[in-house]
């Protein structure tokens, strides 16, 4: 058993390594991320497709202690997440209210003067360093917002914290600080633009980040709800991929909009960086007031089958790291620690496993493969029952998402080969059940296994000659 002095020495060495931004010798640095040659996906620098399975932790830097951060990351890593989205200067008073250790990010609220104190673990930026390193050591990337949008917009009676000049200086400074870390820059922060000057501030911050880190990280923009980065910056060279915020709503029409960005020219990858959170207030015809696991699963598969290269999950209590004593936002039902273990969070990994079990290159959205599905136009909440499909452009496989356990009719001629192997994939458990093999001709009806109407399923159809493994079985190395 280790002696007490050896434990203390080990702890000191670990803290010193973190303080200087180092990664322990036993951990391999994560490869950088880049846009794929087809411009529809992200991949690692060693050429592997990167499926972004993110979690939303906007207030993590501002509110959590180091022990809390370690717990949060351990849980999400075990649940299959490989990226976490968070904010340096958070929305909930991140420039005025100290973090868990009493530190603020700026001197006199001046973005050109980061509050840096010599030595390890004794200022706000040391805490940011700790969080980024802790995620990277676990094989997780960080989607890092330098600031929330409120700080480049009017905060009457205060003026905006950022302007063109100091935004670029600030961006350059943090770009340089995190140049060698495994992260993606996300500018913006959940705000509409009220004038051109606000857009110029965001552009200036992006220029600063790119100058500071030498272009080593991808950059995207986090928009307001039900909008996309493409509406403002699609043609700009610094925007490497589009991020949508399809919003905290349940109908299909919002998530189906992901396809608009998939098809937009010039081609850029697209992801939904803020969909409906689990445990979030949302209108439901049955009168219940909060979104459920089924709602966030629908958002996941609707986005993926509309062309997204990954997905970001969120929980209403976790994004704000809410616990007793803090002002609640949008009525969280329980603390962030308890919320880490909700069903929807644990089921996101099954979407990742499914998509990684078939080749990503050449995958396209194709709802036209669905000839019909058993949902009536006058049914309550019909938009929550929208079937959606994706397939390989070479016809080697197709996936059809059934958000409710109803029969659908599929056009088999869209698949290659003479024979089709069909599977039902359970998005709640990740289990695959082989249906049968039959000729790839005409149309065929498929009815999900006996289950409650509100339970969803994924139908997977494979060209039999490709001999794909069961859906959810990994066929490629992917972080």
Quick check: is 17 in a domain? Answer: no
Query: Is 437 a residue whose pLDDT tops 60?
Result: yes
Question: 156 preceded by cis ω (within 30°)?
Answer: no
Percent above pLDDT 70 for the chain: 92
Tell me how crowded residue 29 is: count the other CB atoms within 10 A of its CB.
Answer: 11
Q: Are residues 332 and 389 in the same domain?
A: no
What pLDDT, on the 0 to 100 scale, is given for residue 17? 36
Is residue 132 within a helix (H) or strand (E), and if so which, with residue range?
helix 124-137
Look at the block and give the residue holding tokens 């994560």: 30
Q: Are residues 289 and 408 in the same domain?
A: no
Q: Where is the domain boundary, 324, 356, 388?
A: 356
3-class SS of residue 145: strand
Q: Are residues 299 and 336 in the same domain?
A: yes
pTM of the model: 0.92
Average pLDDT over residues 3-23: 36
Q: Rounded to an integer, what distance in angstroms lies between the CA atom of residue 121 and that of residue 133? A: 13
Q: With cut-offs at 50, 70 and 90, classify the pLDDT of residue 112.
A: very high
Q: With cut-offs at 50, 70 and 90, classify the pLDDT of residue 27.
A: low
Query: Is 107 a residue whose pLDDT tops 50?
Result: yes
Of the listed ranges 133-142, 325-334, 373-382, the one predicted with least confidence: 373-382
Q: Are residues 378 and 308 in the same domain?
A: no
Query: Is 311 a residue whose pLDDT tops 60?
Result: yes
Rg (CA), the chain: 23
Q: With cut-offs at 50, 70 and 90, classify the pLDDT of residue 377.
A: confident
Quick check: is 16 in a domain? Answer: no
Q: Are residues 351 and 418 in the same domain?
A: no
Q: Determine contact, residues 30/139, Cβ cutoff 8 Å.
A: yes
Query: Is 7 a residue whose pLDDT tops 80?
Result: no
Average pLDDT over residues 93-121: 96
Q: Where is the domain boundary, 356, 380, 408?
A: 356
What pLDDT, on the 0 to 100 scale, is given for residue 4? 40
Q: Determine contact, residues 277/56, Cβ cutoff 8 Å.
A: yes
Query: Is 152 a residue whose pLDDT tops 80?
Result: yes
Q: Are residues 78 and 166 in the same domain?
A: yes
Domain span at 387: 363-466
Quick check: is 258 in a domain? Answer: yes
Q: Where is the domain boundary, 303, 334, 356?
A: 356
What pLDDT, on the 0 to 100 scale, is given for residue 158? 77
Average pLDDT over residues 249-269: 95
Quick check: is 474 in a domain? Answer: no
Quick check: is 385 in a domain? Answer: yes
Query: Is 283 a residue whose pLDDT tops 70?
Result: no
Quick check: is 20 in a domain? Answer: no
Residue of 386, 358, 171, 370 whose CA lies nearest to 299:
386
CATH code, domain with 402: 2.60.40
Residue of 214, 201, 86, 190 whose CA lies nearest to 143:
86
Q: What angle do CA 55, 59, 61 make, to 5 degrees?
A: 100
Q: Rounded to an integer, what distance in angstroms lies between the CA atom of residue 147 and that of residue 174? A: 11
What pLDDT, on the 0 to 100 scale, is given for residue 6? 37
Query: Is 172 a residue whose pLDDT tops 70?
Result: yes
Between residues 183 and 383, the one the model is more confident about: 183
371: left (phi over 0), alpha (psi -120 to 50) or beta: alpha
Q: Are residues 319 and 399 in the same domain?
A: no
Q: Are residues 313 and 352 in the same domain?
A: yes
Of the listed ranges 58-62, 159-163, 313-317, the one predicted with least confidence: 159-163
Q: Are residues 344 and 426 in the same domain?
A: no
Q: With cut-offs at 50, 70 and 90, classify the pLDDT of residue 478.
A: very low
Average pLDDT over residues 373-387: 88
CATH code, domain with 351: 3.20.20.80
Scanning 250-321, the segments in alpha helix (DSSP H) are 252-255, 258-262, 293-305, 316-319
Half-sphere exposure in the Cβ direction for 126 (13 Å, CA): 21
Q: Are residues 223 and 257 in the same domain?
A: yes
Q: With cut-offs at 50, 70 and 90, classify the pLDDT of residue 378.
A: confident
Chain Cα centroid distance, residue 138: 17
Query: Is 274 a residue whose pLDDT tops 80?
Result: yes
What pLDDT, on the 0 to 100 scale, is given for residue 9? 33
Average pLDDT over residues 150-165: 87
Question: 266 preceded by cis ω (within 30°)?
Answer: yes
Q: Rounded to an integer, what distance in angstroms lies between the CA atom of residue 228 and that of residue 257? A: 9
Average pLDDT over residues 229-233: 98
For the chain, the domain total comes to: 2
- Residue 80 CB contacts under 8 Å (≥ 6 apart), including other chains: 53, 348, 349, 352, 353
Between residues 289 and 17, the one the model is more confident about: 289
Q: Are residues 343 and 380 in the same domain?
A: no
What pLDDT, on the 0 to 100 scale, is given for residue 381? 81
Quick check: is 107 in a domain? Answer: yes
What pLDDT, on the 0 to 100 scale, is given for residue 285? 53
Mean pLDDT of the chain: 92
Q: Determine contact, residues 389/414, Cβ cutoff 8 Å.
A: no
Query: Is 449 a residue whose pLDDT tops 60?
Result: yes
Q: Are residues 65 and 86 in the same domain?
A: yes
Of the listed ranges 220-229, 399-408, 433-442, 449-458, the one predicted with least confidence: 449-458
- Beta-bridge partners for 56: 85
Average pLDDT over residues 269-287: 86
Query: Is 69 a residue whose pLDDT tops 90?
Result: yes
Please spell the DSSP secondary structure of 243-259, one letter per residue: EEE--S---HHHHTTHH
Query: Is 57 a residue whose pLDDT tops 70?
Result: yes
CA distances from 326 to 55, 150, 336, 448 (A): 21, 20, 11, 44
Quick check: is 286 in a domain? Answer: yes
- Residue 254 CB contacts under 8 Å (≥ 6 apart), including other chains: 226, 246, 247
């Amino acid at each position: 058993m280790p002696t007490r002095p050896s434990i203390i020495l080990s702890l000191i060495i670990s803290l010193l390594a973190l303080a200087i931004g180092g990664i322990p010798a036993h951990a391999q640095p994560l490869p950088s991320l880049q846009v794929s040659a087809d411009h529809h996906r992200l991949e690692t620098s060693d050429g592997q497709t990167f499926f972004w399975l993110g979690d939303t932790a906007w207030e993590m830097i501002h509110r959590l202690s180091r022990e809390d951060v370690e717990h949060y990351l351990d849980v999400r890593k075990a649940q299959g997440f490989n990226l976490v989205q968070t904010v340096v200067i958070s929305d909930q008073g991140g420039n005025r209210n100290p973090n868990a250790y009493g530190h603020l990010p700026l001197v006199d609220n001046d973005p050109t003067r980061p509050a840096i104190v010599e030595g390890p673990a004794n200022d706000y930026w040391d805490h940011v360093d700790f969080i980024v390193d802790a995620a990277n050591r676990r094989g997780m990337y960080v989607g890092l917002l330098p600031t929330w949008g409120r700080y480049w917009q009017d905060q009457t009676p205060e003026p905006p914290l950022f302007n063109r000049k100091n935004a670029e200086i600030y961006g350059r400074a943090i770009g340089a600080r995190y140049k060698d870390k495994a992260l993606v820059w996300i500018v913006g922060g959940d705000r509409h633009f009220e004038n051109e000057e606000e857009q110029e501030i965001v552009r200036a911050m992006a220029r600063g980040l790119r100058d500071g880190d030498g272009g080593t990280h991808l950059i995207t923009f986090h928009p307001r709800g039900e909008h996309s980065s493409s509406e403002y910056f699609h043609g700009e060279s610094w925007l490497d991929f589009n991020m949508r915020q399809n919003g905290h709503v349940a109908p299909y029409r919002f998530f189906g909009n992901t396809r608009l960005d998939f098809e937009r020219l010039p081609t850029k990858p697209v992801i939904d960086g803020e969909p409906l959170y689990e445990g979030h207030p949302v209108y439901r015809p049955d009168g219940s007031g909060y979104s459920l696991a089924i709602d966030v699963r629908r958002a996941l598969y609707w986005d993926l089958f509309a062309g997204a290269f990954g997905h970001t999950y969120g929980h209403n209590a976790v994004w704000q790291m809410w616990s007793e004593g803090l002002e609640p936002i949008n009525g969280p039902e329980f603390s962030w620690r308890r919320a880490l273990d909700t069903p929807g969070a644990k089921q996101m990994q099954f979407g990742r496993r499914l998509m990684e079990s078939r080749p990503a290159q050449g995958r396209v959205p194709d709802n036209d493969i669905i000839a019909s599905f058993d949902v009536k136009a006058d049914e309550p909440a019909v938009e929550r029952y929208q079937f959606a499909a994706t397939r390989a452009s070479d016809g080697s496989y197709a996936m059809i998402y059934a958000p409710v356990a109803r029969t659908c009719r599929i056009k088999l001629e869209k698949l290659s080969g003479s024979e089709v192997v069909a599977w039902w994939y359970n998005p709640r458990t990740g289990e695959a059940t082989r249906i049968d093999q039959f000729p790839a001709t005409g149309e065929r009806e498929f009815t999900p296994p006996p289950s409650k109407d509100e339970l969803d399923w994924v139908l997977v159809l494979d060209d039999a000659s490709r001999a794909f493994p069961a859906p959810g079985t990994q066929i490629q190395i992917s972080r």
